[in-house]
Structure formats: structure tokens, C-alpha cells
Amino acid sequence: MEVKTEGIDGILTTASQKLCKTQKTFDAKDTNQALAVLSQRFGLTICFGHPDAVAHVEKAVASHLRVCFSTTENRVWSFTGYPSEPLLSCVASQLLHQSSDNLRDALDVLKRKVHGGMFEVGQSGELTSRLLLLLAKDMYVRKYLSKDKKAYIPDPHHDGIWEAELIDCQKISVIHFLEYLFGDKFWSKVGDHGKKAFQHAYINFSHWVPMDEFISPQVCEDINVGSLR
């Protein structure tokens, strides 16, 4: 994207304020703020049998950028979710990683809600996989690719215009990411051929979205797993 320098920070700040419904610092211990940030990135699935589910969804739609896609004719049930929007995902990631306390406190909120039965973990614990993969990518980017702890990488251009790349939308090396995730000895198990096969391979993802229908019947066998975007 190409915008003026003050516009980049302004857009990110506005998105942060809308997502958290606050002009103050993100409070990761606040249940509504923490769940809004985590839901946008990790595709949290609400258990509608939970007594707090309806109230949570209504507040999230009213105040935390959750979108109501449709309702039943009697308006008893609403079908909602967060949009697949990379910019908003990058804002959510920035909030989570502003400090180690933010990530810990937000995950603590999620843990309590999962233990209370408000969110599904998946048939085989897929929520854990979503958390592990995306948080690992977040940390890899911040350790090796980010600059000046900004949410974007600016590139000076003429007449005060900047071209910016959001740090959480950067492509990353498959080889380096798997080494970071599983350790330096990961590729030794598959030999030089495996590492050579992926030497020019890159991945790029910033959030998860739920899969409500098959993309391809031959490929997608379990729509509950979700999809990286």
C-alpha cells in the first residue's frame, strides 16, 4: 500500500481503538479486549450452549468489530465472525506482542474461557495448533525481520510518500521457520535432499479463518480445522 507517513500510523491506531473499544493502552486482562484480539487472529469458535455466549457475541458485534453475517428469522441466533483482513490481523498481532505481559495475560483469559466451555478446542486440539503456528511466526518475524519495533517497514519515497509493508504480512523462509519452530536439528532428520527441496520455498500467513464449506472435496476432509490466511 502507498500512503502518507502520518496516514499509516493513523490507520493502525484507529483500527486498534476500534478493535479494543478504547483510546487507551490495550488491556490484555480485559476479557472483551483480549477475546476480540485473539478471535480476529485465531478463528475462535464459540460454543453457543454456553450461558455467556450470546452476551459475548452481542457485545463483540456492538463494540469490537465482530461482524454479524446473518440472523435467524426470529433473531434468536446470529451468525458472526471476524473479517479476513490482514491489516486488522497485523494490528491485533502488534497489540499482543507490545509486551510479554500482553501475550501472557490474553492467553490466560482464553485459557479460562476454554476451561469454562465457552470456546471449542477442536476434535483433536486444533486450537492449540493454530496458536502454536501463528505465534511462532509472530515471534520469528519480530526476532529476525522487524525493524524499530514498528508494525510496518517503511521505504522512503519521493514527495513525502512512503511505501510500507506490514511486518506480519512478510513472507518467510520455510526452512528457517521450521528450524525456528522445531529446533536446529529438524532438517537433519530428512537429510540434505529435504532441505534442498525447500530452499526457495516461502510461506506467508497472518490469521486463521473458520472453514464453513469445502474449498475442494478432494483436499478438504475436515472443515473444522480452519484455514490459514
Q: What is the pTM of this model?
A: 0.84
Q: What Rg do the C-alpha atoms of the chain give, in angstroms?
A: 19
3-state helix, strand, coil in the chain (%, to 5): 50, 15, 35
Assigned domain for 63 exists:
yes
Number of domains in the chain: 1
Assigned domain for 60 exists:
yes
Sign of CA dihedral 30, 36, 42, 47: positive
**b/e 142-158 (16+ beta carbons within 10 angstroms → b):** eeeebeeeebbbeeeee
* Contact call for residues 166 and 145 (beta carbons, < 8 A): no
pLDDT tens for the chain, 229 residues long, are 444 445 788 889 999 999 999 988 999 999 999 999 999 999 999 998 899 998 999 999 999 999 998 887 777 677 899 989 999 999 999 999 999 899 999 999 999 999 999 999 988 899 999 999 999 999 999 999 887 777 887 766 545 555 678 899 999 999 999 999 999 888 888 877 888 899 999 999 999 987 765 555 554 444 344 556 6
Assigned domain for 220 exists:
no
3-state SS of 99-148 is CHHHHHHHHHHHHHHHHCCCECCCCCCHHHHHHHHHHHHHHHHHHHCCCC
Assigned domain for 223 exists:
no
pLDDT of amino acid 120: 93
Assigned domain for 228 exists:
no
Assigned domain for 115 exists:
yes
Q: Which domain holds residue 9?
A: 2-171
Assigned domain for 187 exists:
no
Assigned domain for 200 exists:
no
Identify the burial level of 23 via C-beta atoms within 10 angstroms of its C-beta, where 0-12 means exposed, 13-18 middle and 19 or more buried: exposed
pLDDT of amino acid 90: 95
